[in-house]
Amino acid sequence: MATATRVKHTKFIFVTGGVVSSLGKGLCAASMGALREARGLNIGLQKLDPYLNVDPGTMNPTQHGEVFVTDDGAETDLDLGHYERFVSHRMTRHSNYTSGQIYESVIRKERRGEYLGQTVQVIPHVTNEIRASILAASEGLDLLIVEIGGTVGDIKSLPFLEAIRQLRLQLDARDTVFVHLTLLPFIKTAGEIKTKPTQHSVMKMREIGIQPDILVCRTEEPISRATRDKLAMFTNVRADSVMSLPDQDTIYKVPLVLHGEGLDDKICELLNIWSREPKLDEWKRIVHTLENPRQRVSIGVVGKYVDLAESYKSLHEALIHGGIANNAAVEIVYVDAEQVQAGGADVQLGRLGGVLVPGGFGERGSEGKIAAIRFARERKIPFFGICLGMQMAVCEYARSFADLPGAHSSEFDPNLDGAVIALMAEQQSVTEKGGTMRLGAYDCELAPGSLVARIYGKSRISERHRHRFEFNNRYRERLERAGLRLSGVSPDGSLVEMIELAPETHPFFVGCQFHPEFKSRPTAPHPLFTAYIAASLQYQRTRT
Ligand code: GLN
């Protein structure tokens, strides 16, 4: 873990949450980042998570949503995905710390004797460690926005709150702002918005020594002057610092709504930052396109975690971005792979404009994914396979065209004959959880004249990976001879990174071993998603 040095004079916004979880603290922090960036500031974001897991990569996506991967290969909280979609600053492994990582670092130091026989305690040792990781992440920035995960009142959040309380004392008072996000429930029977839970949440904050400077109130409807005044009175926050953030139909409106509430002006005032008015044209254009689409397309995402859209968060957003680039609304239909497997390909997929098989782990649903891919290939429905989706496409092709009826991934059967997807030799002896994963950014060389080279408009790309298994080179020639195009390989040629079918055979059939969704932004939609949505729109037009 890094040590505390401050090269440049950085200012800080600390974002905490009260009353309930899932209020969209990450989105709020990301939107504040977008607003600061629109004013020309060099900003960064950091998320501090109170749970004890040292490796968020091993957490179940149905409980915690997607694992977001950074360029430097950190497996992080999905809020970092929001951050990267809203600001241009790229996240690193220093952008997300869990309590587990903080404690691990403290315990390692204790084992090495670094505390010289002192009693090692939450205050000051754990809180020092937290402060050090915040300061390290702030290096070189004008402003760092730090989101504290969890809800005020949780035992597990206390060391983080204590650490930011200490930071306000340590730093210049005009260098820190505390923003507290809360819920104002609307009680139908009383016909009233209730402020009491927020009053209590701020009381809890003040008990631990933090007076919020700004309240952002999540509500169904905008709040009245009287409610603002009441909240101000009871929470000791100025009335012009009580902001309302009603539910929005698209998340990309949040920066504009917060700007309308005067949040970024207020932050400038409190942090004594002089800056130009924010340039928000791009966000306005995005919202306008989302609200006035010229066409629509439905895309079927065939996967295992269909009950929880959060587990495909970046993918979901990347599809929306592909829609923005095509002036189209994208309806995303989550299709349960097991139902396709049970024989419902036509029913489940027949009416869709495109079929996408996303990343995933484990065997459940894999036959359904293969059935879906076969259906898309035979019907010439645009197909996009990501990570496990590409691996299943290779299996499907091998079964159908390379005389390998049992082709599969050795992830599901290690002794398989016909393992077209397998572990590389050097990975086979590693046993630690997550130990064999290929993680983070890798370069890929695109085949001249391929569909993907045309889509990217260049021959060398860099994309993020998170997987263990690879295209098995033993079957490379055989599959190529059978007509599968290996359109992207690692620079040394040893790993297959992308596959496609010839345009004469299929209008859009692309698989990639990496996760392009992690790099898509509403302001810069990823080229593969833009091209895939364009192909799906085209397919839909010719079909009807
Ligand atoms: N389970 C596959 C592997 O480990 C694919 C992983 C993924 O889709 N992210 O290689």
Report CA 440 to chain centroid distance, whole Å: 14
Give every CB contact of residue 73 below 8 A, 6+ residues apart in sequence. Answer: 93, 439, 440, 441
Cα–Cα dist 183/196, whole Å? 10
The pair of three-digit structure tokens given for residue 514, joined into one six-digit string: 């990496």
Predicted pLDDT at 58: 72
Average of per-residue pLDDT across 429-457: 84
Candidate of 311, 363, 388 to mutate for ligand 1, largest count of ligand atoms within 8 Å of Cβ: 388
In percent, how much of the chain has pLDDT > 90?
73
Predicted pLDDT at 349: 85
pLDDT digits (tens, 9 = 90+) for 237-271: 999 999 999 989 999 999 999 999 999 999 999 99
Please name every residue paired with 192 in a beta bridge, in sequence order, or none if there are none: 187
Average of per-residue pLDDT across 30-48: 92
Which atom in ligand 1 lies closest to the alpha carbon of residue 515?
9
User: What's the chain's average pLDDT?
Assistant: 91
* Interval between CA 506 and ligand 1 midpoint (Å): 25
Which of the residues are catalytic? Answer: 387, 515, 517
* Interval between CA 492 and ligand 1 midpoint (Å): 22
* Interval between CA 70 and ligand 1 midpoint (Å): 16
Predicted pLDDT at 308: 62
* Interval between CA 221 and ligand 1 midpoint (Å): 42
Which atom in ligand 1 lies closest to the alpha carbon of residue 387?
8
Q: Whose CA is nearest to atom 7 of ligand 1?
A: 359
Angle between helices 527-543 and 313-325 (to 10 degrees): 70
Quick check: 426 pLDDT over 80?
Answer: no
Angle between helices 158-170 and 127-137 (to 10 degrees): 60
Cα–Cα dist 24/65, whole Å? 13
Least confident of 219-228, 273-282, 354-363: 273-282
Quick check: 5 pLDDT over 70?
Answer: no
List the chain domain ranges. 11-284, 293-543
Which atom in ligand 1 lies closest to the alpha carbon of residue 362?
1
Cβ burial of 249 (10 Å; 0-12, 13-18, 19+) is exposed
Please name every residue paired with 180 in a beta bridge, in sequence order, or none if there are none: 16, 215
Q: Whose CA is nearest to atom 1 of ligand 1?
A: 361
- Please spell the DSSP secondary structure of 82-131, one letter per residue: HHHHH-SSPP-GGGEEEHHHHHHHHHHHHHTTTTTTPPP-IIIIIHHHHH
Candidate of 467, 472, 495, 512 to mutate for ligand 1, largest count of ligand atoms within 8 Å of Cβ: 467
Rg (CA), the chain: 25
Candidate of 469, 496, 512 to mutate for ligand 1, largest count of ligand atoms within 8 Å of Cβ: 469
Predicted pLDDT at 6: 40
Quick check: 153 pLDDT over 80?
Answer: yes
Protein residues whose CB sits closer than 6 Å to any atom of ligand 1: 359-361, 387-388, 411, 466-469
Predicted pLDDT at 38: 87
3-state DSSP assignment of residue 399: helix
Highest mean pLDDT of the ranges 153-167, 267-281, 418-432: 153-167
Predicted pLDDT at 436: 79
Q: Do domains 11-284 and 293-543 have the same CATH topology?
A: yes
3-state DSSP assignment of residue 357: strand
* Interval between CA 104 and ligand 1 midpoint (Å): 28
Please name every residue paired with 305 in a beta bridge, in sequence order, or none if there are none: none
Cα–Cα dist 383/394, whole Å? 13
Q: Contact at 8 Å (CB) between 486 and 480?
A: yes
For residue 38, give the H/E element and its range: helix 25-38
Cα–Cα dist 118/30, whole Å? 40
Quick check: 78 pLDDT over 90?
Answer: no
Return the higher-pLDDT residue of 19 and 194. 194
Ramachandran category for residue 488: left, alpha or beta (phi over 0 → left; psi -120 to 50 → alpha): beta
Which atom in ligand 1 lies closest to the alpha carbon of residue 437?
4
Quick check: 362 pLDDT over 90?
Answer: no
Q: Any idea of the CA torsion for 100, 102, 104, 108, to the nearest 10 degrees?
A: 180
Name the CATH superfamily for 11-284: P-loop containing nucleotide triphosphate hydrolases (3.40.50.300)
Going by CATH, does the domain composed of 293-543 fall within 1.10.3720.10?
no
Angle between helices 79-86 and 313-325 (to 10 degrees): 20
Q: Contact at 8 Å (CB) between 359 and 386?
A: yes
